[in-house]
Structure 1
């Protein structure tokens, strides 16, 4: 899409902060006027629109896309969002450390154990860890507890969790990133510890490296989205 506007402005409106293109409000895919609860977040959206050149590249406007999701889904589709996230608790990534090789297991323990401890301390949820994949490590009780935690979160945090959990393949890592218990780089390393170990020991793949770089950019966007 060609850039169709000259000016980008930020204005305080009833119900939040809006972004305006040549005086017209930015609207979501569902045609709602985009209103955000924090001026700092709206400023980041405005900056993305202002940074576009002759052609608008919506793929690179990650904070804008997260803001659209917040406006269109965080409240109206809250039940559905939570339902999508709960299965990640059943097969939580960091509940399955490898039994061997020993050095990889040690790396996983070093990265994962502090995160699991913090998750338990701050949510009250204790997840079971197994060393062999024999089915789901955690079940209905843990999922219900995580649901209760998610229902207490505001729309911004829930939107961040919805984005981060599938990216990382982990409810614990995604929630920790959204709550700022962990940096994007640390979440990236924890989620990909086995892949990074293999690349270090047996050589990397150019396409895999490209995907890892893209993942980090997306995680940084989630972090920026919640930095309000």
Structure 2
């Protein structure tokens, strides 16, 4: 049997200002989230991105082609009402951040990790005020309590849309510091994604590519770049 899909029922999607937020209307009717909350977006660029996704639908609705709509729904329905819980999930990455765990050998990999990650460690110390301890191997190293608390406070400060983006940036990269670097524009999203892939790229260089792993990595890269774009276009304008 053919898979059922909802059919397009509107002719035009338009952005409508609502106070300090923006709504998307389908033939004059405002969009709601799956939980029936008003889909109010914090910036006009994000609202236009959501409207463009609805405008681009064919005769049948394909949610897979609507990433900004899905992210907005998640921010409103899931992250906003569970802000404290999501904060703890994201902040926990600061206690075992990818960039703190270094290889003991070979020397070329050790050097590659240092070149990629030492500037991020320095940035965390000098800009985020969160000095981190590096170690070799995979045994857990306890990070300074003050640094952990500073990072948690920075996560907590994020609004629902920024926290939605930060959650994905951090979970996909394995690094809260890389997540914050993406939010702060320390490097391009492509560059930051490459920094998170130092170990994997090293293995590929030594042993060759695995087709399935390559497909998974490509999906994760796309999701990482989307999360960075979500943050960039969701910032409220002054």
TM range (shorter): over 0.9
Figure out how many residues of one structure are paired with residues of the other and give that number. Answer: 228
Equivalent of residue 212 in structure 2, options 186, 207, 217: 207
Is 2:135 aligned against 1:130?
Answer: yes
Measure the CA separation in 2 of the matches of 1:90 and 1:133. Answer: 13
| Secondary structure at 1:227 match in 2 | helix
Please list the CA deviations of residues 150-171 of structure 1 after superposition, one character each: whole Å capped at 9, or x if unmatched: 2223333222111211111111
Q: TM-score, normalised by structure 1?
A: 0.92
The equivalent residue for 1:29 is 34
Measure the CA separation in 1 of the matches of 2:123 and 2:61. Answer: 41
Deviation of the 1:206 alpha carbon = 1.0
Measure the CA separation in 1 of the matches of 2:73 and 2:130. Answer: 31
Deviation of the 1:209 alpha carbon = 1.1
The equivalent residue for 2:196 is 191
Equivalent of residue 169 in structure 1, options 174, 192, 195: 174
In the TM superposition, structure 1's runs of 4+ consecutive aligned residues that sit over 4 Å from their partners are: none
| Secondary structure at 1:83 match in 2 | helix
Q: What's the Cα RMSD here?
A: 1.7
Unaligned runs of 5+ in 1: none
Unaligned runs of 5+ in 2: 234-238
Is 2:169 aligned against 1:149?
Answer: no
Asked whether the equivalents of residues 129 and 137 of structure 1 are also in contact (C-alpha less than 8 Å), the reply is no
Measure the CA separation in 1 of the matches of 2:81 and 2:213. Answer: 36
| Secondary structure at 1:86 match in 2 | helix
Asked whether the equivalents of residues 178 and 222 of structure 1 are also in contact (C-alpha less than 8 Å), the reply is no
Measure the CA separation in 1 of the matches of 2:126 and 2:74. Answer: 30
Measure the CA separation in 2 of the matches of 1:159 and 1:217. Answer: 16
Q: Structure 1 residues 140, 58: CA separation in 2 closer, same or farther (over 3 Å shift)?
A: farther
Deviation of the 1:20 alpha carbon = 1.3
Measure the CA separation in 1 of the matches of 2:187 and 2:8. Answer: 36
Q: Structure 1 residues 45, 154: CA separation in 2 closer, same or farther (over 3 Å shift)?
A: same
Asked whether the equivalents of residues 10 and 20 of structure 1 are also in contact (C-alpha less than 8 Å), the reply is yes
Q: Structure 1 residues 180, 7: CA separation in 2 closer, same or farther (over 3 Å shift)?
A: same
Asked whether the equivalents of residues 31 and 39 of structure 2 are also in contact (C-alpha less than 8 Å), the reply is yes
Q: TM-score, normalised by structure 2?
A: 0.88
- Tell which deviates more after alignment, 215-224 or 52-61: 52-61
Is 2:101 aligned against 1:120?
Answer: no
Deviation of the 1:100 alpha carbon = 0.9
The equivalent residue for 1:49 is 54
The equivalent residue for 1:106 is 111
The equivalent residue for 1:220 is 225
Deviation of the 1:74 alpha carbon = 4.1
